[in-house]
A and B are shown apart, each in its own frame.
Chain A
Amino acid sequence: MNLLKIKKSFLIILCLSLFLPTVLCACGKTETGNGTINVGIAQDLEDSLDPHKAVAAGSREVLFNIFEGLLKPDPKGDLIPAVAESYQVSEDGLTYTFKLRKNVRFHNGRIVTAEDVKFSLDKISGKLGDEPMLPVYALMQDVSIADEETVVVTLSEKDVDFPAYLAMVNAAIVPNDNPNMDSDPIGTGPFRFESRSIQDQIVMSRFDEYWGTKAYLSKVVFKIVPEMDTAVMNLRGGSLDMYAHMTTDQISQLSGDFQVLEGTMNLVQALYLNNARKPFDDERVRQALCYAVDRKAVLDLTSEGKGTIIGSSMFPAFSKYYMPELSKYYTQDIEKAKDLLQEAGYPNGFSMSITVPSNYQPHINAAQVLVEQLKDIGVTAKIELVEWNTWLSETYAGRNFESTVIGVDASYLTARALLERFYSKADNNFTNFSDPEYDALYEKVITLTDDEEKTACYKEMETILTEKAANVYIQDMAEFVALRNTFEGYQFYPLYVMDMSKVKPKN
């Protein structure tokens, strides 16, 4: 456990208990938002303000307010038309015809034209010289303008999940005549970019010519507060009105000035195992680890029992694909785990390392509980904390690790976002999972058009991940959003976005 962290929170508790009586008296004195909200975010948009370059989840969730694609997700997780009014798919599933919405305006006042749409799609698919933004966008073989209000996209191969990719912030429609996307992002979303001060704040204001339901707040200030304890202090002090992705610890320090909304992180938190490394190349060893772990205890010890236990690479928000029964597939059974290890040739257990990025406290906490639980079957695990960039380059891209605790998110709205990475040939298969049956299912599912068939196929894939114990799946973590009582209307999405357009001041 991070010593400094303990010390600090201890001191804060000390201060709190010293000053509690006076704090209580000081309650109730809050400034009204006056249509402006100050939202704390943990990191600046360090990759880019350009939606076609932003890769961090933290950046995309902010840019979601400025940009829209042809389609966009709604809070239920369905796709709704945005810049496009409607679309049609040809029978072979290769041609998508988008009818553009009339009079959608960019933040600079210009009306969106078919040329802008073509430019944006060409850019993300790598036709303008760059690498494709995401491999899936390279599917777009041709984008052509049929008339002023119609754009036709031809795919090189069939992919029914294509509309879901277009709903991502990364597929935003941007003007074809803005050379300064990095510093002056112009989109079609409910908020327009106002200004930024590096490592300080990003200011957005309501876009009054927005085509859809206009935002309620006139101004949103995203303030960068990387330190969680500082964020709690700033919420209490009044300089912040909202903070998302909080944990139970931090929530408990807030006063009655705040409403606490509970949602889920929509992440698959797991002890990811490098399936190519000994001893994890043996299915029995992986299963033994699954039997050794008491997921309920992990939740109890790290988040007061909040969170949803999962058993495969899928979280409950994807209700269509989620299989609750898989979360009960492995229940803690030390004897069975020991037998499996014996069978696999490790009667005395083994030692392993768990790599955890040091900036994600929830994952560190979970890893600490796992270390204790694995001791019971004779497995000595050691936590290795690494810096985030080291994790990205060594563990994720380099696949040079034994095991790691991390949360994997879905960047678009289909099961594929979470299941694709276990296809043995996938670029992002960092756990090196390899199973011929799984591969065959994956190759099949991407060509299916019937939704029911597809869902069934995805469910089969999830089941394989559980049965073959690809990884030790733990939970979809609970997350809390603190919102000052003078505001209301915040809505969670099954994706990692922070939609400020639905928040309104309370009268």
Chain B
Amino acid sequence: MRYAIRKLVTMILTILMVSLLVFLAFSIIPGDPATQMLGTNATAQKLEALRAQMGLDRPLLIRYLEWVKNFISGDMGISYSYHVPVRQMLYDKLGIMLTLTGLSFLLIVLLSIPLGILTAKYYDRYFAKAFDVLNQLFMAIPPFFIGILITYLFGLLMHLFTPGGFVSYKSDPWGYFLYMLTASFSIALPKAAMSMRLLKNSVLSEAKLDYVRTAYSRGNRTNQVLYRHVLRNALIPVVTFLGMTLADIVAGSIVIEQVFSIPGFGRLLITSISNRDYPVAQAIIVIIAFLVVVINFIVDSLYPLIDPRVKKDEQ
């Protein structure tokens, strides 16, 4: 219980820190929503009037506290660019990001764990060695380029999907899923390659330890040793890696969204920063920070499930 409370307090503090940093960052970079809105029509008077109207002429700290207060009560403000409540705007986009992140993560797990075990088990066979080469290749290629490759191969050559043909899940759920799946592949492949290699090496090094010999001597067969003993220990570094990866995917999805023209969080974040649309940018960054913190929390609480020893140390 105390552990949970301590984690919760750290989470809240982290998010407050992040939001304060964002606030400060925006006050340092030149330009503000008023210059953006008026563009080349701006005059000193007009700027001043607009700033007063938007409340931008008040001190930073007061604006920050007010934002925190509203945010806690669920009011994320109104976008300066789109004149609609931020909450409503982010609702759709959050779904897109969660789908992209979720699918990518699922793909990483589905690809890397079975393949990792398989290549570890048959590490001296040819196909395992072929996978090693493939692994190297996929680890070396950045996701955005895999994205471009996928678009050319599957989009322009094989016509399996239409590049840029993103459809909203409201109008065509299946089309949406397929499109997101394609994009998820380009995020997942490099990470899956890394995680597969990690698992393979981890299994192989665990297999050299004494307890494996003991297990064999007690009459267990290879599969029993592998799945009941080795894998449990070998998975610990992989879970840590996957946890970090999940946070990475969130950031990586911003780039992939550009390649596949997916109107998600990433594009909105980039444009809201360049438009100085503070309420939107702040809300997105805080939500991402929140997700990362929560993911870490979940990963932390997963350890005891895989390895009961962790729990003992904790208490």
Interface string of A12-49 (1 = CB under 8 A from B): 10010001001100100100000000000001101110
Q: Identify which of A26, A55, A236 contacts B40 (C-beta below 8 A).
A: A55
For the complex, is A488 an interface residue (Cβ under 8 Å from B)? no
Chain B residues whose C-beta falls within 8 Å of the C-beta of A46 in the assembled complex: 36, 81-82, 271, 275, 277
Would you list which residues of chain B between 199 and 223 have a CB under 8 Å from chain A? none
Instruction: Report the tally of A-B residue pairs with Cβ distances under 8 A.
Output: 155
For the complex, is A233 an interface residue (Cβ under 8 Å from B)? yes
Binds A, one of B63-71, B234-242, B245-253, B257-265: B257-265
Binds A, one of B8-16, B115-123, B161-169, B292-300: B161-169
**Are A239 and B163 in contact, CB atoms less than 8 angstroms apart?**
yes
Closest residue of chain A to B79, judged by CB? A198
**Are B152 and A199 in contact, CB atoms less than 8 angstroms apart?**
no
**Are B83 and A233 in contact, CB atoms less than 8 angstroms apart?**
no
For the complex, is B17 an interface residue (Cβ under 8 Å from A)? no
For the complex, is A141 an interface residue (Cβ under 8 Å from B)? no
B280 to chain A, nearest CB (A): 9
Can you list 17 A-B contacts with CB-CB less than 8 angstroms, sorted by A residue number? A23-B156, A26-B157, A29-B159, A44-B271, A46-B81, A46-B271, A46-B277, A183-B84, A198-B268, A225-B261, A230-B261, A239-B261, A388-B274, A389-B36, A389-B275, A393-B35, A397-B35
9 closest cross-chain pairs (CB), A and B:
A234-B164, A237-B163, A200-B263, A389-B31, A239-B164, A182-B83, A393-B31, A55-B39, A393-B35
For the complex, is A134 an interface residue (Cβ under 8 Å from B)? yes
Chain B residues whose C-beta falls within 8 Å of the C-beta of A198 in the assembled complex: 82, 84, 89, 92-93, 263, 268
Chain B residues whose C-beta falls within 8 Å of the C-beta of A387 in the assembled complex: 29, 31, 274
Would you list which residues of chain B between 127 and 171 have a CB under 8 Å from chain A? 145, 148-149, 151-153, 155-157, 159, 162-166, 168
Q: Which residues of B contact A (CB under 8 A)?
A: 29-32, 35-47, 49-50, 81-84, 89, 92-93, 145, 148-149, 151-153, 155-157, 159, 162-166, 168, 258-261, 263, 267-268, 271, 274-277
For the complex, is A290 an interface residue (Cβ under 8 Å from B)? no
Closest residue of chain B to A428, judged by CB? B40
Bound complex: CA A12 to CA B152 (Å): 9
A171 to chain B, nearest CB (A): 14
For the complex, is A61 an interface residue (Cβ under 8 Å from B)? no
**Are A396 and B42 in contact, CB atoms less than 8 angstroms apart?**
yes
B287 to chain A, nearest CB (A): 16
**Are A131 and B40 in contact, CB atoms less than 8 angstroms apart?**
no
**Are B163 and A233 in contact, CB atoms less than 8 angstroms apart?**
yes
Chain A interface residue bracket vs B: 35 or more
For the complex, is A349 an interface residue (Cβ under 8 Å from B)? no
Q: Which residues of A contact B (CB under 8 A)?
A: 11-12, 15, 19, 22-23, 26, 29, 43-44, 46-48, 53, 55-56, 131, 134-135, 182-183, 197-201, 223-227, 230-231, 233-234, 236-240, 359, 387-390, 392-394, 396-397, 427-428
**Are A223 and B30 in contact, CB atoms less than 8 angstroms apart?**
no
Chain A residues whose C-beta falls within 8 Å of the C-beta of B258 in the assembled complex: 226-227, 230
**Are A236 and B46 in contact, CB atoms less than 8 angstroms apart?**
no
Bound complex: CA A44 to CA B41 (Å): 19
**Are A197 and B81 in contact, CB atoms less than 8 angstroms apart?**
no
Bound complex: CA A134 to CA B40 (Å): 11
- Provided the pairs A29-B159, A237-B163, A237-B164 are in contact, do residues A224 and B263 lie with their beta carbons within 8 angstroms? yes
Chain A residues whose C-beta falls within 8 Å of the C-beta of B163 in the assembled complex: 230, 233-234, 236-239
**Are B84 and A397 in contact, CB atoms less than 8 angstroms apart?**
no
Closest residue of chain A to B269, judged by CB? A199
Q: Identify which of B35, B49, B83, B164 contacts A225 (C-beta below 8 A).
A: B164
Q: Identify which of A236, A240, A427 contacts B43 (C-beta below 8 A).
A: A427
- Provided the pairs A15-B149, A226-B267, A230-B261 are in contact, do residues A394 and B30 lie with their beta carbons within 8 angstroms? yes
Q: Identify which of B30, B49, B148, B267 contacts A131 (C-beta below 8 A).
A: B49
Other than A199-B93, A237-B156, give 8 A-B pairs with Cβ distance below 8 A: A15-B149, A29-B159, A44-B81, A55-B37, A198-B93, A233-B155, A233-B164, A428-B41
